Chain A
Amino acid sequence: MVPENLYYTEEHEWIRIEDGQATLGITDHAQKELGDITYVELPDIDDEFDSGDDIAVVESVKAAADVYAPLSGIITEVNEGLEDEPELVNASPYEKGWICKFSDFDENDLEDLMSPQQYKDFIEG
């Protein structure tokens, strides 16, 4: 499942842009690869980060995976629901399983990210 209207990364993250704010999560493909998610380490609000920084950790029964920032920005909101229900990342990767929101990114950098079609080709390739 690769929804339209999102940007994607080679690290299997998605970004939704709404009202100048970005929401970040991991893709359906990523959650399937990881298996049951048991823990999500969230960033702190107001954390400032550069593109490529690790900003969160998604841990499954078998392994821990870093979540890398696809853009630079400042964290504005985190999904605190994941603290008690990390399995939302499995059940609803694009909606209830979002990880964090951030602002202050450079819109021009969005061009470096993948479109839904490019991401589909990437995971099927």
Chain B
Amino acid sequence: MHQTPLNQKHLNLGAKLVPFGGWEMPVQYEGILAEHMATRTKVAIFDICHMGEFIVEGPAASQFVDLVVSSKAGTQKVGKCKYGFLLSEEAKILDDLITYRLDDNKFMMVVNAATTSSDYSWLEQNLIPNVTLSDISKETAKLDVQGPESQSLLQNVFNINLNDLGYFSWLYINFKNTQILLSRTGYTGELGYELYFDVKIVEELWDLIIASGATPAGLGARDTLRLEAALPLYGQEVDNTLTPKEANLMRFVSKKKEYIGSNILLEMGEVPFTLVGFATDVKRAARHDHQVLINGEIVGRVTSGSIAPSLGYSIGFAYVKTPFAKPGQEIEINLGKKILAAKIVELPFLKK
């Protein structure tokens, strides 16, 4: 089991550590609900050092990124970053990722922890001339600072102004001779930032940002926050058996360029199952792998489910037979000993 460089900090803060994607990660410190609400109303900090970072560099870097990423990440401007997928030849989702354009001929890919090594092998196999690929995950730390007060906190800590930094844009800032890449991105549905920097200063920055008012938050809150914002989680809503079409994520797929998987994906007819969001009017929650029923017939399965702390009722994602995949459709969820009434709803669940 891998540990992040902040493992001892987490233990000192009384965190409960759990395995996640091959890493020992804090699921909570004080409690998931308090950490969730701190992110929605103030500012929280998350240790995301488990995620992987690759550098793609060389005269053909832009061409390579456009070949392997489903969105138009290769031709975006320097200073921007973009969400997308790595797809197999069959258009199955090998991973979801964010690609940063660092320079004309240099990109950074940020990938999931559990898929870091398989992604790297796959990228290596598809490498084209005049591009080099390197895995900088070990020497790169990542901290997410999220919440309505994240901007003012970071402005104070680093003595910078972030007013002009747009969504999915990034800039470099300096902290004691170390360069930090800071992007206005996140996985919570709140105003927030992600910071990438040399792992050597991670303990110092963690302490400094907490001392400046951020609440440490774990993967438990990260999960309820991303669920309310209807952001998919690799391994739950998407994986290497599914395509972006089934996952209802075609907005992150370019129709104007060719990339690995594009031919299959764009010629694909109706898919049997489609990802939807559902809501209940109770606090009892559906969970991963529960059956979805309509009139007693199994029409799908739940991928994620939980109480939505900011909404006060339970919500979730499910794959359902495509003809039923429309907002307003009433469904039932088989909890095993009980049936839970729910309804397919428009996403995101939490509208800001």
Residues of chain A having any CB pair with chain B under 8 Å: 35-36, 38-39, 41, 54, 57, 59, 61-64, 86, 90
Contacts and interface: CB of A to CB of B under 8 A. Distances in A.
A64 B224 CA distance: 15
A96 B287 CA distance: 28
Contact of B33 (A39, A57, A61, A64): A61
A39 B220 contact: no
Contacts, number: 46
Closest 4 CB pairs of A and B: A39-B283, A61-B32, A38-B307, A36-B33
Nearest to A83: B283
Contacts of B220: 35, 61-62
B28 interface: yes
Query: Size class of B's contact patch?
Result: 20 to 34
Contacts of B307: 38-39, 59, 61
6 contacts: A35-B27, A35-B220, A39-B283, A39-B284, A57-B284, A62-B220
Contact of B287 (A36, A38, A64, A90): A64
B337 interface: yes
Contacts of B32: 35-36, 61-62
Given A35-B220, A39-B307, A54-B337, A64 B28 contact: no
A90 B28 CA distance: 15
B325 interface: no
Contacts of A64: 284-285, 287, 335
B348 interface: no
A64 B305 CA distance: 11
Contact of A41 (B16, B34, B224, B284): B284
Contacts of A41: 284, 338
B332 to A, nearest CB: 17
B306 interface: yes
A54 B336 CA distance: 12
Given A61-B32, A64-B285, 15 more contacts: A35-B32, A35-B220, A36-B31, A38-B283, A38-B307, A38-B309, A39-B284, A41-B284, A41-B338, A54-B337, A59-B284, A61-B306, A64-B284, A64-B335, A90-B31
